[in-house]
Structure 1
Amino acid sequence: MLFASVIRRAGRRIASIVTVGSLVAVGALLFSTPAAAATALVECVGSNKITFSPPLTGTPTLTAISIASSSTCITVGSPQVTSATIAVSFFATRDCDEVLDGLDVPASPLPLTWNAGSSVATVNVANVVVQGQAQISTQIGTVTSGLFTGGTFLREAVLLNLDISAGCLSPGGLSEIDGTSSMTIVDLF
């Protein structure tokens, strides 16, 4: 048990380093030279909901995990996008301890539905970092089809561990987590 705890802490530190390194790499890519400029094609903020069926408890169980994100967006140019949704479902064996240490999700593909059409983003980097009572999930990739094809995809979702702990301690287990999300698609030129 002690060994698992040490491994978990080391994993979180590595994830923090990888996340910071990934964000620095994207920042360097976006702002490295005066000739390399980035234009935000769309920026979105909204909510994120993750549901577990059956609910998670202290015992590892095969569960259906659904992630739904709904956002309000602004765009530069056409098309005029005002809203976005993301819906992903998958099965995995999870328990409450694993979720408290950072809920990992499949990296790719990520379907994006806009009020003006749809896209698919291929996520190349996906990291979860637990900072204090917050879990910050970062996804970085490329829009491979539909609206904004070729754009660089950046998404961050935040969940509170206090909500996870309360759900895990409830008699029925953890059935859902709510949080916030932000998403930006930039065009490099």
Structure 2
Amino acid sequence: MRTARIGGPVSAARRFSAGVLVALSVALGSAATTPAAQAADLELLSCVGSGANTYQPGVTAQPRVVTIDSSADYDSCVSSGSPTITSGGYAIVANGLVSCLGGGVSITVTITWNTGETTTVAAVGLVVLRPANEVVVVYQGTVTAGRFTGAAVVMTAALINATPAQCFTAEGVTGTSGPANITITRLT
């Protein structure tokens, strides 16, 4: 029986995700000490979970337009201003110019929270390949409708490419999955 070795990539993905969260925390902490931030309260929602993408056609070493079926389940959320929101998720279809080495994607996603509320986010993402075959996607955008309208959003995913050799085939890589996070910040 062949077992998959996932400790390295998953650990690296978790370290990346933790690093993003620490950087955001430091940035938000700095913003909270400015006079403008002292005049208003800062609401913060942070969630961790998992994400998965499928690609049609598959992603290869050469950039090409790819249709991406993307989903995320945020199974653990904490909030400074919305304690009833404890989980959420989305599923979308987007198009982007990507390769196994990088690319970019613009998305509009509607996240449905456990409370039944929704949050629509418009964001631009940068896709980069990291060591250990992680496809790291960082989206930055704004909430355009629903709960948290006007808030800033950072979404990250460290999706593991379990078949990196597929990058050099005509079929390409057809799917990735791994840890996903979202942070929403808003001055109230």
**Fold similarity call, TM over 0.5:** yes
- Going from structure 1 to structure 2, the CA distance change for 1:135 and 1:85 (only over 3 Å counts) comes to same
Question: What is the aligned-residue identity percentage?
Answer: 30
TM-score computed with the length of structure 2 as normaliser: 0.66
Residue segments in structure 1 that go unaligned for 5+ positions in a row = 1-22
* Pairwise CA distance, 1:30: 3.3
* Pairwise CA distance, 1:46: 0.8
**How much is the aligned-residue C-alpha RMSD, in angstroms?**
3.4
* Pairwise CA distance, 1:44: 0.5
Query: Partner of 1:138 in structure 2?
Result: 138
User: Hey, what's the Cα distance between the residues in 1 that align with 2:158 and 2:102?
Assistant: 11
* Pairwise CA distance, 1:40: 4.2
TM-score computed with the length of structure 1 as normaliser: 0.66
- Going from structure 1 to structure 2, the CA distance change for 1:57 and 1:130 (only over 3 Å counts) comes to closer
Verify the 8 A CA contact 1:30 1:188 in the aligned structure 2. no
3-state SS of the aligned residue for 1:36?
A: helix
User: Hey, what's the Cα distance between the residues in 2 that align with 1:129 and 1:91?
Assistant: 16
User: 20, 42, 46: which one pairs with 1:43?
Assistant: 46
3-state SS of the aligned residue for 1:82?
A: coil
How does 1:23-172 map onto structure 2 within 5 Å? 27=27, 30-31=31-32, 33-36=34-37, 39-56=42-59, 63-72=66-75, 73-78=77-82, 80-91=84-95, 98=99, 100-106=100-106, 108-116=107-115, 117-123=117-123, 125-133=124-132, 134-161=134-161, 163-168=162-167
Any idea what the Cα deviations from partners look like across 1:8-51, whole Å, max 9, x if unmatched?
xxxxxxxxxxxxxxx89x93883571441563432110111011
* Pairwise CA distance, 1:63: 4.9
- Going from structure 1 to structure 2, the CA distance change for 1:75 and 1:34 (only over 3 Å counts) comes to same
Runs of 4+ residues over 6 Å off in structure 1: 58-62, 169-172
Q: What amino acid sits opposite 1:47 in the alignment?
A: S
Residue segments in structure 2 that go unaligned for 5+ positions in a row = 1-22
User: Hey, what's the Cα distance between the residues in 2 that align with 1:84 and 1:179?
Assistant: 16
Aligned length: 160
3-state SS of the aligned residue for 1:30?
A: helix
User: Hey, what's the Cα distance between the residues in 1 that align with 2:44 and 2:62?
Assistant: 44
User: Hey, what's the Cα distance between the residues in 1 that align with 2:172 and 2:163?
Assistant: 10
Q: What amino acid sits opposite 1:102 in the alignment?
A: G
